[in-house]
Amino acid sequence: MTIPRSLEGALGFNITRVALLFRRELIVALQEYDLTPEQWQILVAIVESEQAVDQTALAQVTLKDKPNVSRILKRMERDGWVERVVNPEDARAKLVRPSEQATEQYPEIRRTLEGHFEELLRPLDAEVSTQMVELTHQLRKVLGDPPRSSEASTFSA
């Protein structure tokens, strides 16, 4: 079956489809590390924050609800990727930080993903890639996504 024209011309359909295709590629690239795309997002957020992070902040970054983030974190803690520590400002709350394993493996995983997506996206001109990232930033802003970091990367995964 071919995709109907009304879907082919729909922005939401195309963005969703590209997101699903990117997710599929992330699954392939992360397979050797036994990480899911959702776990990778959390790992990037906590490693690059350079401080322990609360679950609410992770929910905002990943656009997941707190119970979903909690389940992801439990698996990541079980698999040795994160550690939960007591929040010094509120002993009842926990913060999440990367484990030693995560800190050590993060650069390698990132290089693996960069290589995977560089090869995959080679047919795209670098300028086109940059423009596409900027356009998605504009769409996110229109849709009410929080402001982006001033040091946004063009890293594709």
User: In the chain, how long is the greatest CA-to-CA distance?
Assistant: 57
List phi, psi (to 5°) of 138.
Answer: -65, -45
Q: Indicate if the alpha-carbon torsion angle 101, 88, 69, 20 is positive or negative.
A: negative
pLDDT of residue 50: 85
The domains of the chain, with CATH numbers, are: 21-127 (1.10.10.10)
Asked whether residue 155 carries a pLDDT value surpassing 70, the answer given is: no
Q: Tell me what pLDDT residue 15 has.
A: 94
DSSP code for 93: E
* pLDDT confidence of residue 68: 96
- The predicted pLDDT at position 104 comes to 97
Rounded Cα gap, residues 148 and 145, in angstroms: 8
> Over 60: is that where the pLDDT of 153 sits?
no
Summarize pLDDT for 4-46 with one digit per residue, the tens. Answer: 999 999 999 999 999 999 999 999 999 999 999 999 999 999 9
pTM of the model: 0.85
What is residue 139's predicted lDDT score, i.e. its pLDDT?
93
pLDDT value at 151 more than 50? no
Nearest C-alpha neighbor of 82 from the set 109, 101, 59: 101
**Residue-wise pLDDT tens digits, 48-79:** 998 999 999 999 999 999 999 999 999 999 99
Give per-residue pLDDT as tens, 107-136. 999 999 999 999 999 999 889 989 999 999
Q: Which residues of 112-140 are buried (b: 16+ CB within 10 A; e: fewer)?
A: bbeebbeebeeeeeeeeeeeebeeeeeee
